[in-house]
Amino acid sequence: MSQKSKSSKAAKSKPKSAAKAAAKPAKPAAKAGKSAKAAKKVPAESRVFAPSAEFVKSSRIQSLDQYRRMHAQSLKDPEKFFGREAAELQWRKPYRRVLDWKCPDAKWFVGGQLNVSENCLDRHLAGPRRNKAALIWEGEPGEKRVLTYQQLHREVCRFANVLKRHKVKKGDRVVIYMPMVPEAAVAMLACTRIGAMHSVIFGGFSAESIKDRVLDCDAAVIITSDGGYRRGAVVPLKKNVDDALKGGETKVRSVIVLKRTGQEVHMEEGRDVWWHRELEYVDAVCPAVAMDSEAPLFILYTSGSTGKPKGILHTTAGYLLHAQMTCKYVFDLREEDVYWCTADVGWVTGHSYLVYGPLALGATSLMYEGAPNWPENDRFWRIIEDYGVTVFYTAPTAIRAFMKWGDEWLTKHDLSSLRLLGTVGEPINPEAWMWYHRLVGGSRCPIVDTWWQTETGGHMITPIPGAVPTKPGSATLPFFGVDAAVVDDLGKEVGKDEQGKLVIRKPWPSMLRGIWGDKDRYQKTYWSDFKGWYFAGDGARRDKDGYFWIIGRIDDVLNVAGHRLGTAEVESALVSHPAVAESAVVGRPDELKGQGVVCFVTVKEGVKTSKELADELKRHVRKVIGPVATPDEVRFAAALPKTRSGKIMRRLLKQIASGEALKGDTTTLEDVNVVAALAAASAED
């Protein structure tokens, strides 16, 4: 079949509105401004963007029909579908069965053995990929480094031997608290090489947050660096680790410190060692350990609606397969691509789409250490131009910041190397989508808006570029093996355009396998709202074409600049301050960050409220959780609105925080006057 007839067949098979747009030839970039202006008149949801014939021609899946067939097959016969995909991994021992499922426990590729670092590195060494760039790195101050697959392999082997020297064994937990430098990826891969589990902690978390996580996963070794660069300043990473370990509650026996910024740091005798010195004692030979498919791979902490952060557990084969598969089908990664994911390794996006997925596929992954506006607002565009980035993956919050900074920062750069764009982390508003499409993508690049979570390990609802026409603001359709639905509280699918809860009705290879050390919480949080189905807190609706539109969290989790934050965590940080009696934290819409953090606080008897106290409480939350959780506003109140049973009425507080008129039923309120007083109170007085 010729390419031409393939794409015209693609157009025929699309739903009516999509087909209409798909049948039109792709608009040349020059006319984009005009077409976008015309499109502005119609509501966002009716705009449909078909992949260009140019893109379709070389993409792996070339029509909506083909996507639908494959998706149906992946649900009907997951054994066959995933069995075929899993053949692309390098196995030490073949598996016996694709799936064992007894809700909520899934085992994928039962009986098989493999090693993640071997799949990400060794298997690429036999052919021409040996000398291909695996990681391209740029530091914030401007240093550049390229590690070929062979060089990365060597660094990983050497560092794995350092870990062995520090008595790290299979199954041990290693905490990684590092800046965005190649050594962060080296450390992760070295853990997987010897079968140790890593738990990466984002550099924006505080000493106390590090301590909680180290204690929870019982880590014996921490890998960190003296500091990291962020917007020209040095983040004191080692100092934070020192503070976390003060008091001697943890079992940490070794801290391995990379020299990055070169400032003076304290080195604890008998505990702290320098990364570069340790390398002097080891060689570069380190065989990868064969791991069971279901062997724990890593723990990544994320916020939930109650209590302390949850240690999300991922295992070996299913996670790796999904990361590789999505890089193949969603990012459409090719041998010659220069792929850039801007996420930090401290988040799941950095795990799956900076390190494991692209490297498993033998791609070139770009890593940038610092801020997008350092030294100036065009740093990202400069990087894209300098390296000829072809596939670019970032967050809506970043896109909104770029829009605010002004088009001139990017129009002076040549971004014509780009061929595919992606977003992740929060719903993208159609205006930001359109801006991304026109200005960054030159109206020629498909955008993959990927909905997924720390818990899901990889993309769940996302366009397959080349096959699925996109609509600004919609994550479109489920990935292979994903049985997504929008249901009411009883589990019945809601009607077209009605809002409901987003559930996944079948296990998938990269699903979380548990919450570290808390089986009950795992069952309760994810599998008890709907028997046998996964629910993780998002609301959504589907349109007439079956496209998913993610509304956002409907539990007590905030999404601030794409970072998950539990309201309960912030509340407990607030009440740990001696002046605070009670607190309630809610989100309010924020133009840049998606959501901002608003804290309602009542103070203890005799405490005087003031602007200074509000600022102190903000600093306190920052100290307890980390800069990621800094409140936008602290409002003092004489009392918080509660139901007669004592439950804080967050719905009302949300309305107050966002300055909306109060709606809904307040008859269960204990004291209606409280609400009136809160609404009347101006901020921070």
Residues that bind ligand WTA (CB under 6 A): 302, 347-349, 424-427, 449-454, 475, 536-538, 550, 552-553, 559, 564
Do 464 and 61 contact (CB within 8 A), yes or no? yes
In the complex with ligand WTA, the residue whose CB is nearer, 114 or 628, is: 628
Q: How many CB atoms lie within 10 A of CB 664?
A: 9
Smallest distance, ligand WTA to C-beta of residue 143, A: 29
Which of 564, 229, 228, 586 is CA-nearest to residue 424? 564
Rounded Cα distance, 397 and 427, in Å: 10
Shortest distance, CB of residue 200 to ligand WTA, whole angstroms?
13
**Structure-block tokens of residue 393:** 């993956």
Strands 514-515 and 310-315: antiparallel
Least distance (Å) from ligand WTA to the CB of residue 233?
A: 25
Amino acid letter for position 448? V
Q: Supply the minimum distance, in Å, between the C-beta of residue 79 and ligand WTA.
A: 27
Strand 500-504 to 484-487 pairing: antiparallel
Q: Are 574 and 590 in contact (CB under 8 A)?
A: no
Q: Which is closer to ligand WTA, CB of 112 or CB of 425?
A: 425
Q: Across the strands, what pairs with 534?
A: 504
Report phi then psi at 473, rounded to 5: 105, -5
CB of 227 or CB of 396, closer to ligand WTA: 396
**Rounded to the nearest whole angstrom, what is the least distance from the CB of residue 672 to ligand WTA in the complex?**
33
DSSP lists the bridge partners of residue 420 as 391
Return all residues near 260 (Cβ < 8 A) that are at least 6 apart. Answer: 179, 181, 225, 226, 227, 228, 229
In 265-406, where does DSSP find H-type helix? 275-279, 316-329, 348-350, 357-360, 379-387, 396-405
Is the backbone peptide bond immediately before 104 cis, with ω within 30 degrees of 0? yes
> By C-beta, is 529 or 670 nearer to ligand WTA?
529
Q: 129 or 213: whose CB is closer to ligand WTA?
A: 213
Rounded least distance, CB 426 to ligand WTA, Å: 5
Amino acid letter for position 146: V
Q: 508 or 636: whose CB is closer to ligand WTA? A: 508
**Partners of 643 in beta bridges:** 669
Smaller CB distance to ligand WTA: residue 348 or 617?
A: 348
Place of tokens 């970032």: 394
User: Considering the complex, what minimum distance in angstroms separates the CB of residue 495 from ligand WTA?
Assistant: 21
In this structure, the number of other CB atoms found within 10 A of the CB of residue 228 comes to: 26
Q: Please give the Cα distance from 180 to 227 (Å, whole number).
A: 11
Nearer to ligand WTA, 564 or 577 (CB): 564
Closest C-alpha to 477, from 495, 451, 503:
451
Residue 105 C-beta: closest distance to ligand WTA, Å: 21
Provide the CB-side half-sphere exposure for 476 (13 A, CA).
Answer: 31
- The CA distance from 415 to 261, in Å, is 31
Q: How far apart are CA 58 and CA 197, in angstroms?
A: 38
Nearest-approach distance from CB 476 to ligand WTA, in angstroms: 10
Least CB distance from residue 661 to ligand WTA, whole Å?
26
Task: Name the residue type at position 114.
Answer: L
- Residue whose CB is less far from ligand WTA, 272 or 426: 426
In sequence order, the β-bridge partners of residue 230 are 233
Q: Which residues contact 273 (CB under 8 A, 6 or more apart)?
A: 254, 255, 256, 257, 267
Q: 57 to each of 10, 20, 63, 164, 467, how far by Cα in Å? A: 11, 19, 10, 49, 11
Nearer of residues 554 and 579 to ligand WTA, judged by Cβ:
554
* Nearest approach, Cβ of residue 448 and ligand WTA (Å): 9
The answer to whether 241 touches 255, Cβ cutoff 8 Å, is: yes
> Smaller CB distance to ligand WTA: residue 560 or 621?
560
Nearer to ligand WTA, 446 or 641 (CB): 446
Least Å distance, CB 509 to ligand WTA, is: 16
CB of 627 to ligand WTA, least distance (A): 17
Residue, CB closest to ligand WTA: 454
**CA 59/CA 51 separation, integer angstroms:** 10
Q: What is the identity of the amino acid at 575?
A: V
* CB of residue 459 to ligand WTA, shortest distance in Å: 9
CA distance 264 to 226: 8
Q: Residue 48 or residue 447: which is nearer to ligand WTA going by CB? A: 447
Q: To the nearest whole angstrom, how small is the minimum distance from the Cβ of residue 57 to ligand WTA?
A: 27
Cβ proximity to ligand WTA, 348 vs 652, nearer residue: 348
The residue (of 452 and 534) whose beta carbon lies closer to ligand WTA is 452
Q: Are 656 and 669 in contact (CB under 8 A)?
A: no
